[in-house]
Amino acid sequence: MSPDPVKGLILVVEDERAISDLLRLYLSREGFGVQVESDGLAGLSAARTLHPAAIILDVGLPSMDGTEICRKLRAESNWTPVLFCTARDDEVDRVVGLELGADDYITKPFSPREVVARVKAVVRRAVQAASSEGPLVLGEVIVDPVTRRVTAGGSPVQLTATEFDLLEHLMANQGRVFSRDQLLSEVWGYAAIVGTRTVDVHVAQVRTKLGDYSPIRTVRGVGYSAELEP
């Protein structure tokens, strides 16, 4: 395997000098390299050329919105982990952000330690995903995308094709909340003409089969996600 240009580099796109300085300080103290861009366009091109391990994006940016940057990157199949960073404690912003492919978000004011922890978590997930084809593990549930076998608490579990795809999708993006429509388009396929109720039924099936080990959490009014703490 050929070496990547730089690893452990975090790209910070943030126009407030005070914040970017703080992030630089804490992240570099943890051994990350840090590159700061204060402008949206510059941030986008930096994201393209530097291949950072993760990107911290301010939502309110001059010249190009943070969500816009993320959307553009995703459109180019660039799946570098993105953490959104927003001042307004606005729920909609978050959901919208997560829907368009962000991996996490933080709200100002934040503790630098929190940011560092989230960056670490996000990078870890990405690295894990990149060492692809490994089994997905969450608690006592193990999902192997290659053999399509599932075990819960050590015992094999028989899932149908759709049930497997659903669980795999959730566990491959653990912690992330998906709306029913998202799940329909991402698991069922591009033109799912089925009602969103269908998702409920399959989720219920998976939960039944996994029993107490089921990691699927329902987020009322939003959708579902897979995580440890129910």
* 220 lines the binding site for its own copies (CB under 8 A): yes
Nearest approach, Cβ of residue 44 and its own copies (Å): 22
Number of residues that bind DNA (CB under 7 A): 23
Nearest approach, Cβ of residue 114 and its own copies (Å): 5
Nearest to its own copies of 60, 101 (CB atom): 101
x/- letters, 160..199, toward its own copies (CB under 8 A): xxx------------xxx----------------------
Q: Which does 151 bind (CB under 5 to 8 A by kind): its own copies, DNA, none?
A: its own copies
- What residues numbered 23-62 form the site for DNA, per CB under 7 A? none
* 212 lines the binding site for its own copies (CB under 8 A): no
> Quick one: how far is CA 217 from the chain centroid?
16
Site for its own copies (CB under 8 A): which residue of 78, 101, 185, 209?
A: 101
Nearest approach, Cβ of residue 218 and DNA (Å): 4
Q: Which does 101 bind (CB under 5 to 8 A by kind): its own copies, DNA, none?
A: its own copies
Nearest approach, Cβ of residue 88 and its own copies (Å): 12
